[in-house]
Structure 1
């Protein structure tokens, strides 16, 4: 019956408009306006045709008097109207009035006008600054009210009294500093509320509790830094929620638990750092999730998007620092069809990540610095039926030999099943300033096959692993190093090492406390030091600072070179070696010792130092003197026995042999002055050391290792 009445009214209105178009000598359509029947949609999105008078952009200062009584839609946008005379509005059938982009400063005149059938009122882009109590109470049929882009800073608690049938309220882009829950107590049937882009201090618990029928809530651009756990309580019908362009540093997961009916969630353009486990817990009907344009987003952690049975689209694009997605980040997402990850900072996406999405149909990866190795090999093979959006723009950023080539072309050539770790570049800054006694968290994540093990090295050379027991350091399961109550002595370079069977990758960050480093840590670069010098050897050590620390042990080298007129040689040592012993050198000789560090990712760094070996001892060492004394004693004993035997044998011929005895005596005296090494060279040779001696005279084995190296870990 009601539908038939509406049809009858519509037909009569159209007949009236048609009759007005007959030239009767009286112009019933205002000058410069257009009067015609146009399509119109009700607040419930029902289509119908309505008699419309279009007077947009005509420079009007007042509502025309000669409007057709049958008018249902009146368009007065872009004029200079500042008020409404009650007697000027006699349109009892008017349902839609557009007064946007005019000069209204107050709305009380509209509230008193004879517009009891008005359904939609547009007052956008005026100069309204206040909504007093009951300002629109006579518009009892109003269902849509658009007050966005004004200068409203004050709304009375009962400003919307009388609007019990209001379904849509737009208050965005005004000057509101707070959201008063009393506004909504008189609008219990509200379905859409847009209140974003207001400089509110914040929202509070149960701010919207009196809106059980609200389906869409927009809280965009409000500068929100947190959402109280009960802020969304009472929104039992909410389906769409936007926190676009706020200051949220983490997903407000506790507040989201109050809206289990949510289907669309927009968290775009918030400084969220990590998507973590439990962020979207128990959101059973969520269909679309927006996590794009987040300038600080660095990672999707393990099980960060899990158990969302109705999710069909996940969009995380234009996140320049998003460099890591855990291979188990997505789990129990049976209906996810679209995964958009373009224009992020991803070096790779593991096949296990997409393999856990049985319904996945399309992926976008273009605009990422993709590393074309075994981690991403699935992209160019038939291991997945996923369609890649913009495949021509999906290109390799490394290794250098593949840079700029299409990913699908390169992976026809890549066959390896294992590859080096790659630490996500966006997680660690090169420098971090922190206040003293603060808690410091250093993030490190890596992608590789097989999965790498991550540990940290402190400025003091300590290795911190997941098993390290320390009051100062704690390493989380995903690679985050926690430093408790940091002090100046804790400042310096912290190095993350990701290692697997293929090699390792490193990234370093210099932590400064109150802008300072310990005095010994203030310099940067490659430093070469001399630890010990003897007549025959030089022991050197070095320290590689973060700016020159290699990113890959397999692709880098350290070279130690010693040079002078007597000897020149070069030795290559692993990048992890920090000491080297140069041996077989000449005493009292100046040498130039140089160290060079190079890698494919960094320019070469070198450091040289001049060192003079010590002067060798000229006299025999104590061990040689002891040997000579023993030899002399043995020789004297032999002489004594020989002389005694000769005297006994020749005693009877004493007189006869006097001249012979005298000659023997002279020979013995002469023999005692002969150097022992001339008398018994073979015997002396047994004591002559073959090895080198140090300055203290201790014997050194002749089998000297020419490269004594000490590893840091």
Structure 2
């Protein structure tokens, strides 16, 4: 780091000054301590309310910490042209006037932390062409204004953590082409100031921690092409990363810890082919999936500490040929199999401590390499089986490893033949119980040798039983149950024959398809089966429910009409109807004679 190199040069220069006996010129400022041999003036903890007068012009280091300074006036330090470090930390500063530091042409380090600054005006840092390190942390700054640091072209490190920042202007970092490191921690920012970051084209290290972020949107850091180290941590509401949130970056180190990520962000990471260090600790990540980290070809270290990790799938670290350190301590892992790695030959450090490890054949590879593997001072211990519970890995003698770290091959207990003949529409169960050490997993294959899942019409129940609901003719065939664990596999085959109903009797049977219903030939039913049939019970219930709904609607209409009519004033309860009977009409002398009739009807 360039700042560190400059500090070393300053240190040896001061030592040289002491050796040759060069003293500061002039008397020392009142209530300050001036070294007779060194160009250093210490005015700390003197309850000063203003910058003291009489500081020697040749002073190179001025310490004004822990005083009561409230204001820095314009040209406050104009005479101290040799000053290289100025420390104003832990004061009560609320105002820094424009051009307060004019004249400090040789200043390299400026510290303003632990004050009460709410805003720093544009121009306050004028006249500081050589400052490389600026610390404005632990203030009350609300906004970083446009061109705030515009006259500090040599600035390499900016510490702005622990402020009340709610907004960073788009041009706040303009004029900082050489800034290498930026720290923004414990602020009130809820979004990534992407436009402001785009000005920092030379930035290499960014710490973006303890913020109120809820997500990293696409193109959050797109212009930071030289960024090597991105540290985003302690953002408890950060639960998602957009697919292109890290696009444009060529990181070598990435930390996304103490957040709320529920899974490894495989998609946002896949293009980071130069990444060597990845820390996802303290996120609720329970599984590392197989093969999805393979694009991180140069990855050397992965940290997944205290994530609640339950399972690392086989092939999880495939293609990671340079993988040398894995830290999965303080999780809920029962085992970590060798098949998860591309090659364990490159692995140097393995942290497995703090997990409920089962010391069986799955961890035999760790025991065989325990003299070459380093556990970083935290050797793992066994939780099961009972006879080795609590024993550290290094406590096992070589002679007992082979007989202790063993497994018992999976064995299916239900060997009785299961050949079922069933009528169409019935439910069929096939049983497959197994034991072994470790406990075996059970999968079922259908007649087309596709794996069946826990959902659908044909499904695998949690106890390993295969359920075929509403059996169809097309379900007929041989099904295969496979029980497997680390020590081996076992399998059995069962058969199902489903008898369909004749076409002439389908409509009279308990199970039938509605006539006139058809399905597209390209439709794929669940687990390869046909569409669901209908039974009489289901149809009766559906018709009954529909009839009840109809009656309810009619009753509601009558009630509405009754109350509506009541609101329209006086209602006539009788009606008189006049009519002409067809047989009463006659013609007399060319004239028509019509006899009319009348009757009265009572309205209800």
Tell me what 1:414 maps to: 404
The 1-side partners of 2:358 and 2:183 are apart by 43
Compared CA separation, residues 473 and 417, structure 1 to 2 (3 A):
closer
Taking structure 1 as reference, are residues 420 and 208 closer, same or farther at Cα in structure 2, changes over 3 Å only?
farther
Distance of aligned partners of 1:135 and 1:348 in 2 relative to their CA distance in 1, 3 Å threshold: same
Paired position in structure 1 for 2:232: 243
> Does the 8 Å CA contact 2:410/2:440 hold for their aligned counterparts?
no
Superposed counterparts of 1:434-449, under 5 Å: none
Output the CA distance in 2 between the equivalents of 1:21 and 1:140.
24
Q: Tell me the equivalent position of 1:516.
A: none
Q: Which of 63, 66, 72 is the aligned partner of 2:51? A: 63
Q: How does 1:71-110 map to 2 (within 5 A)?
A: 71-86=59-74, 89=77, 90-108=79-97
Instruction: State the SS of the aligned residue for 2:302.
Output: strand
* Closer, same or farther: CA 257–170 of 1 in aligned 2, 3 Å: same
| Match among 254, 278, 294 for residue 306 of structure 1 | 294
Match of 1:378 in 2: 365
Partner of 1:210 in structure 2? 199
Q: 1:88 to 1:326 in 2, by over 3 A?
A: same
| TM-score between the two structures when normalised by the length of structure 2 | 0.62
Please tell me whether the aligned partners of residues 299 and 322 of structure 1 are also in contact (alpha carbons under 8 angstroms): yes
**Distance in 2 of aligned mates of 1:203 and 1:283:** 20
Equivalent residue, structure 2, for 1:336: 323
Task: Report the Cα distance in structure 2 between the residues aligned to 1:101 and 1:341, rounded to whole angstroms.
Answer: 41
Q: Would the alpha carbon gap of residues 401 and 117 (structure 1) be closer, same or farther in structure 2, given more than 3 Å must change? A: same
Distance of 2:148 and 2:343 partners within structure 1: 52
- How much is the aligned-residue C-alpha RMSD, in angstroms? 3.9
Give the 3-state SS of the residue equivalent to 1:500 in structure 2.
Answer: strand
Residue of structure 1 equivalent to 2:310:
323
CA–CA distance in structure 1, aligned partners of residues 31 and 367 of structure 2: 67
Higher alpha-carbon deviation: 279-288 or 192-201: 279-288
How far apart, in 2, do the equivalents of 1:344 and 1:110 lie? Answer: 55
Residue matched to 2:523: none
What are the superposed Cα offsets for residues 114-134 of structure 1, whole Å, 9 maximum, x if unpaired?
A: 323322210011000112233
SS at match of 1:401: helix
CA shift in 2, pair 1:129/1:66, >3 Å = same
SS of corresponding position for 2:320: coil
Pick the structure with greater CA Rg. Answer: 1
Query: How many Å separate the matches in 2 of 1:252 and 1:37?
Result: 59
Counterpart of 1:183 in 2: which secondary structure? coil
Superimposed CA distance per residue, residues 154-174 of structure 1 (whole angstroms, 9 cap, x where no aligned partner): 232232232333222221111
Q: Does 1:256 align with 2:259?
A: no
Q: Which residue of 2 aligns with 1:500?
A: 484
- 8 Å Cα contact 2:24-2:58 kept in structure 1: no
- Corresponding residue SS for 2:403: coil
CA displacement, residues 4-41 of structure 1 (integer Å, 9 cap, x when unaligned): xx99x96999389935489xxx8536545252777xxx
- Where does residue 264 of structure 2 map in the other structure? 275
Structure-1 residue corresponding to 2:349: 362
Distance 1:318 1:412 in 2: 31
Query: 1:452, 1:499 within 8 Å by CA — same for their partners in 2?
Result: yes
What is the 5 A alignment of 1:646-657? none
Q: State the alpha-carbon separation in 1 of the partners of residues 34 and 437 from structure 2.
A: 68
Tell me the equivalent position of 2:134.
145
Residues 375 and 357 (structure 1 numbering): CA distance in 2 closer, same or farther, change over 3 Å?
closer
User: Partner of 1:405 in structure 2?
Assistant: 391
For 2:440 and 2:178, locate their aligned partners in 1 and report how far apart those are by CA, in whole Å. Answer: 54
**Residues 200 and 420 of structure 1, relative CA distance in 2, 3 Å threshold:** farther
Name the counterpart of 1:33. Answer: 33
TM-score, normalization by structure 1: 0.53
Specify the alignment match of 1:129 in structure 2. 118
Report the secondary structure of 1:363's partner residue: strand
**Contact 2:43-2:62 within 8 A present in 1 as well:** yes
Tell me if the contact between 2:98 and 2:122 (Cα under 8 Å) persists in the aligned partners: no
Match among 86, 94, 105 for residue 116 of structure 1: 105
Residues 86/234 of structure 1: CA separation in 2 closer, same or farther (3 Å cut):
closer
What do residues 465-501 of structure 1 show as CA deviations (whole Å, max 9, x unaligned)? 74577499999xxxxxxxxxxxxxxxxxxxxx99636
Could you say what secondary structure the match of 1:118 adopts? coil
Contact 1:84 1:113 survives alignment (8 Å): no
CA change 1:369–1:449 in 2 (3 A) is closer
1:285 and 2:274 equivalent?
yes
In structure 1, distance between residues paired with 2:265 and 2:89 = 44
Cα deviation per residue 1:127-153 (whole Å; 9 max; x = unaligned)?
A: 001122333233333332211111111
Give distance in 2, aligned partners of 1:381 and 1:415: 10
Which aligned pairs between 1:469-548 and structure 2 lie closer than 5 A?
470=456, 500=484
Which residue does the alignment assign to 1:168? 157
Q: Which residue of 2 aligns with 1:387?
A: 374
Query: Given the superposition, is the C-alpha separation of residues 140 and 27 from structure 1 closer, same or farther in structure 2, using an over 3 Å criterion?
Result: closer
2:21 corresponding residue in structure 1: 18
* Cα contact 2:331–2:355 (8 A) shared by 1: yes
- Is the contact made by 1:142 and 1:166 (CA closer than 8 Å) also made in structure 2? yes
- Partners of 1:145 and 1:330 in 2: how far apart? 42
Report the CA distance shift for 1:16/1:134 in structure 2 as closer, same or farther (over 3 A): farther
2:338/2:362 contact within 8 Å kept: yes
Deviations 1:572-604 (A, max 9, x none): xxxxxxxxxxxxxxxxxxxxxxxxxxxxxxxxx
Deviation, 1:101, is: 0.8
Classify 1:466/1:149 alpha carbon distance in 2 versus 1 (closer, same or farther; 3 Å).
Answer: farther
Greater displacement, 158-167 / 128-137 = 158-167
Instruction: Tell me the distance in 2 between the aligned counterparts of 1:227 and 1:35.
Output: 52
Q: Distance in 1 between matches of 2:310 and 2:299?
A: 23
Asked if structure 2 preserves the Cα contact closer than 8 Å seen for 1:130 and 1:154, the reply is: yes
- For residue 354 of structure 1, report the CA deviation from its aligned partner: 4.0
For structure 1, which runs of at least 5 residues remain unmatched after alignment?
39-50, 422-446, 456-463, 476-496, 504-713
CA spacing shift, 1:412–1:448, aligned 2, 3 Å:
closer
Provide the rounded CA distance (Å) in 1 between the counterparts of 2:482 and 2:106. Answer: 70
